[in-house]
Chain A
């Protein structure tokens, strides 16, 4: 296949990039996950797509870059640059409503609002039990518990529903 500019003329780079899915959560696009921060097309036809990692150690970053570049190139954009930004750091608040709906649909509880530390002073350590309602994505019950704050990937915690007894994962707030 030879790269042609014809598709680039009809489909915007932004639309092409918006369809690329996350390698770890393939039900979500990178855009819905909030890691695709910008897609810009220059006057010379070059495309610059900006990604931010979820966690510092996210091993999927290289694959995200590769997927994104390949998708844009195969859509006819010959000059593609993938740029990483670290600041501002990714937060689960950037997961779109559509992304949250898809997570639930796939048995993964979406995150609640990310914790915020209103400026000044060191981040306090809270040792008293914190109760957050994380409804079961299968049966909707609020009677659920955390089994581990660290799941199969950095961004997920393990939980269990006490009503339907299903174990499930939650994208933890960060």
Chain B
């Protein structure tokens, strides 16, 4: 993709033919198509691979991390009109938007790295559930608000630990995406941690719900701690697990939550194992793009 996407053609500018005929669009009509920016998020970023970087490994890493973000973003978006307060709805949607942005960048990089030249849409809309490599925790149903913030805490603490280590990786684009993501994920983790503490250390009922969510999350953590998809890019699964465990323990103490022993659920989303929940999530996410594969809006 280049700049000749629909937004620009609607605005009558930059259609690649070099006609600068859209002066009126700058101050007026150019704004009406706001939000339709289906353009390559890596537009103008150098696309080549550094020497010594394995394109297939890079694509696999970017796809998996992109899948985590996309599936999580979709689950967060499902809280719109359902969150307990408008402020929380806005917060969850904002967090989802950050993750969606990360997914777009990662998919675009994956398409460059695997040599397929596929754009972000090919990854998001035109792969089936069995082709996704996200961790299964991301696709579990929404649950209650306690589960929502508990899962968000686990995922943002884990992703933050991964991204911190990726900032020094051999691929400059992935490193830059990670460096940008670290700042965003720190906000997500803070938000989730504060809610977990508030609910865990709140009323009897909120504690019961938070402890229940904590117990539900436990069997899915092993898959995260064993993930080695970014190992060849300098991410040590062991130190990511350590950092994540430390944050979860810190929050659990502040929230008055207890860890009960839980056997990990066998399998791994990274290896293509799925729960029954991903397929309906993707069906909703992909239906419009698949019904109108050539559509632009």
| A residues with CB within 8 A of B | 1, 3, 23, 53, 55-63, 65-67, 69-71, 73-74, 78-79, 81-91, 115, 122-123, 125-127, 147-154, 158, 172, 174
Contact of B20 among A78, A83, A122, A149 (CB under 8 A): A78
Closest beta carbon of chain A to B18's beta carbon, Å: 6
* Residue from the list A89, A123, A125, A153 in contact with B180, Cβ < 8 A: A89
B43 touches A82 (CB 8 A): yes
Q: Is the interface of A mostly helix, strand, loop or mixed?
A: loop
The CA-CA distance from A67 to B197 in the complex, in Å, is 44
Chain B interface size, under 10 / 10 to 19 / 20 to 34 / 35 or more: 35 or more
Report the nearest B residue to A58, measured CB to CB: B101
Q: How far is the CA of A172 from the CA of B190 in the complex (A)?
A: 14
Give Cα A95–Cα B187 distance, bound, in whole angstroms: 20
Q: A65-B39, A147-B87 are in contact. Are A70 and B164 (CB under 8 A)?
A: no
Q: Decide: B91 and A150 in contact? CB cutoff 8 A.
A: yes
Least Cβ–Cβ distance between A173 and chain B, in angstroms: 10
Q: Are B20 and A67 in contact (CB under 8 A)?
A: no
Q: Interface segment, B5-13, B49-57, B229-237?
A: B5-13
Would you mind naming 25 contact pairs between A and B with Cβ atoms under 8 Å apart? A55-B101, A56-B98, A56-B102, A62-B5, A62-B7, A63-B7, A66-B3, A66-B14, A67-B30, A69-B13, A70-B14, A70-B26, A74-B20, A74-B23, A81-B44, A83-B44, A84-B41, A87-B179, A122-B164, A127-B194, A148-B91, A150-B94, A150-B95, A151-B94, A154-B184
CA distance A87 to B160 in the complex (A): 18
